[in-house]
Structure 1
Amino acid sequence: MQINQNKLKQRLILLSFIASILLTGLKFFAYYLTSSNAILSDALESIINVIASGFAFYSIYLSAQPKDRNHPYGHGKIEFFSAGFEGALIIIASLFVIIEAVKRIMDPAPIQNLLQGSGFILFTILVNTAIGYKLLVEGKKANSLALVADGRHLMTDSISSLVLIFSVGLIMLTGYVWIDSVASLLFGIFLAYNGFLLVSKSVAGLMDAVDDALLEKVVNTLTLNKKTEWIDVHNLRVQQYGSDLHIDCHLTLPYYWELQKVHETIHNFENILKDSHTGETEIFVHADPCLYQCCYFCRIADCPVRQHAFIKDIDWNAASLVKNEKLYNEARIHIP
């Protein structure tokens, strides 16, 4: 299943790469027809689509490679770098767009053949929207930041092209040529903002920042499948590298259990987490022996070594499970 998923990701990003080359050519042809600064800005931004899609294809290929001696956690982090690279290129392109727009505002140039040029841009909008939407949907399913980033970039390109068509319509209705340069300037600012978002998310991933949505998903999986013998889970760490999910945690179990039973329980614990994720999942579980304080929230009714009566269960949540301590402090129970 993982192999098929990787092949699907590679086919999708290859489709994006080929489409970006063709659509960029169409946009430059539209600029040749019209001499519109806004259309030129859109065409220049599309060059970024080509470069970014090419790099994203390589990153997805590399992230699919199995872990090796030099990369024991796999190659999934390349997708963060790919998204950051794409974001940086978008920011650079936005600077050129803004500078050119300011020049044209100060020194306006004639515009022609707007209707014909707009027809080409409308076609690129339809293609970019279809491919971008597909990349977003499949990227979220596969937890691929590279696919999501490229899909979001294409969708952003479609939105900006729609604004471009709107500005061209205004020029045709009003005859005010300066609208073209103002639209280009706004487009450049919009590009810079989206590039900044991509770079920020990339840096967060490379720095192993907590993904709150992913952490909540893992916590919800544990809560919904909570077993009586799982006395406590703490020191939970969750990281996503490409399609690969890595989970570390401590699991508190009865101290008197034999090693075989501990092993079987941890194995079942791991399988529950793996079944909730479509990609490769690597889990490291450290087994902790229970303490007498755990009796207050331990749900094992027939425990042969119980020293205190059960008082209440503890709600598992992201804030408490990430702490490197057993959860009896979370119970707010007076322990003598």
Structure 2
Amino acid sequence: MKQRLIIFSFVLSLLIMAAKFYAYYLSGSTAILTDALESIINVVAAAFAYYSVYLASLPRDLNHPYGHGKIEFFASGLEGVLILLAAAYIFLHATQHLFATPTLERLDLGMYISLGSAFLNGLMGFYLVRLGKMTHSPALVADGKHLTLDAYNGLLIVFALGLTFFTKWIWVDAVASIVFALLMCWQGIRLVRESVAALMDETNPAVFNKVIDWITQHQKPTWIDLHNLRIQQYGGDLHIDCHLTLPRYWDLGRVHDEIDDFEVTMGKVLPTEIEIFVHVDPCLDACCSHCEITDCPIRAHQFSNKIEWTAKNMAMNQKHFNEIKLV
């Protein structure tokens, strides 16, 4: 599904790019050239996004035990770099024409083409971002955001061309290009920053909090403690590590069954492939104060109060106790 969608995005970007360069050929507008150059990035980005999604879909192997999903983060970062390079060229080209008086023709045709491409790019970008967030695909999200940015650019171009057409203010054409170049810089820097953060396994707060909410909603009394929770993203897939404290008087068979049940529960937190590694800790006497097992045969002292599991204490590599100092 994702690969077919990106192929469609690639073909659409090719057609739109050809139409924009044709409009530039007829009009000589710097703003339309800006739009056309930005479309080249759409084509290149869609091609690399297709390759990255294909590579991410390959199964794990001995050389890639966590899969190939991180290539999607690289694709997202590459798209950000391409946007920055295009923005730099557009800015230089526009500033050179800021005080010039080029001959502009057929601006009405340029407006029609820019408006049509803005509509198509906006529709495609919205769908790609939506599907990318649903499937946790950074490549789809990046490609969708880029198309959405291109749609905004198209609207800006239409406004600039309309203003130039009716007022004959030639400088508006160059100013519109400069404004959009600045917008492209912001988008490019944002994509590169997000890509680098993901490649360095920076915690995604939205995903982390969603996992914590899911755990607390399905928490069982036998899950005495959960800590050292770590979540890594490999493209659309997740890898989750945690330490789970269970009653120390349980036999190995019951511990195994409980871990299986925990993994099944955790595997439903998001509609994507999730790999879960659980390290089991035996309970300590100090756990009794917040342990909710009512028929515990080895309870050392009475239940005091339940400790709320939060993003802070679940990420720490230490058990939770009612005392101020954690052990």
| TM-score (structure 1 length as normaliser) | 0.95
- Residue 198 of structure 1 aligns with an amino acid whose one-letter code is L
Secondary structure of 1:105's aligned partner: coil
Counterpart for residue 77 of structure 2? 84
Cα separation, 2, equivalents of 1:261 and 1:228:
15
Cα separation, 2, equivalents of 1:133 and 1:280:
24
Counterpart for residue 49 of structure 1? 42
The answer on 1:310 being equivalent to 2:312 is: no
**Aligned to 1:93, which of 64, 86, 92?**
86
Structure 2 residues without counterparts, runs of 5 or longer: none
Contact 2:238 2:275 in 1 (8 A): yes
**Aligned to 2:264, which of 261, 271, 289?**
271
Task: Give the CA deviation at 1:333.
Answer: 6.2
Secondary structure of 2:97's aligned partner: helix
Task: Give the CA deviation at 1:108.
Answer: 2.9
Contact 2:94 2:175 in 1 (8 A): yes
Deviation track 1:68-92 (CA, whole Å, cap 9, x = no partner) reads 0000000000000000000000000
Cα separation, 2, equivalents of 1:162 and 1:107:
24
Cα separation, 2, equivalents of 1:168 and 1:241:
43
Task: Give the CA deviation at 1:241.
Answer: 1.0
Cα separation, 1, equivalents of 2:256 and 2:24:
66
Counterpart for residue 26 of structure 2? 33
Counterpart for residue 118 of structure 1? 111
- Residue 51 of structure 1 aligns with an amino acid whose one-letter code is V
Deviation track 1:217-253 (CA, whole Å, cap 9, x = no partner) reads 1100100000010000000001111121100000000
Cα separation, 2, equivalents of 1:195 and 1:232:
42
The answer on 1:22 being equivalent to 2:15 is: yes
Cα separation, 2, equivalents of 1:334 and 1:176:
70
Cα separation, 2, equivalents of 1:333 and 1:171:
68
- Residue 83 of structure 2 aligns with an amino acid whose one-letter code is I
Q: Which deviates more, 246-255 or 102-111? A: 102-111
Counterpart for residue 204 of structure 1? 197
**Aligned to 1:152, which of 142, 145, 166?**
145
- Residue 145 of structure 1 aligns with an amino acid whose one-letter code is P
Q: Percent identity?
A: 48
Counterpart for residue 254 of structure 1? 247
Contact 2:244 2:281 in 1 (8 A): yes
| TM-score (structure 2 length as normaliser) | 0.98
Query: Residues 191 and 251 (structure 1 numbering): CA distance in 2 closer, same or farther, change over 3 Å?
Result: same
Q: Which deviates more, 156-165 or 167-176? A: 167-176
Cα separation, 1, equivalents of 2:154 and 2:246:
58
Give the aligned CA root-mean-square deviation in angstroms.
1.1
Q: Which deviates more, 130-139 or 37-46? A: 130-139
Cα separation, 2, equivalents of 1:166 and 1:327:
59
Cα separation, 1, equivalents of 2:232 and 2:155:
37
Structure 1 residues without counterparts, runs of 5 or longer: 1-7
Cα separation, 1, equivalents of 2:313 and 2:74:
31
Cα separation, 2, equivalents of 1:190 and 1:124:
18
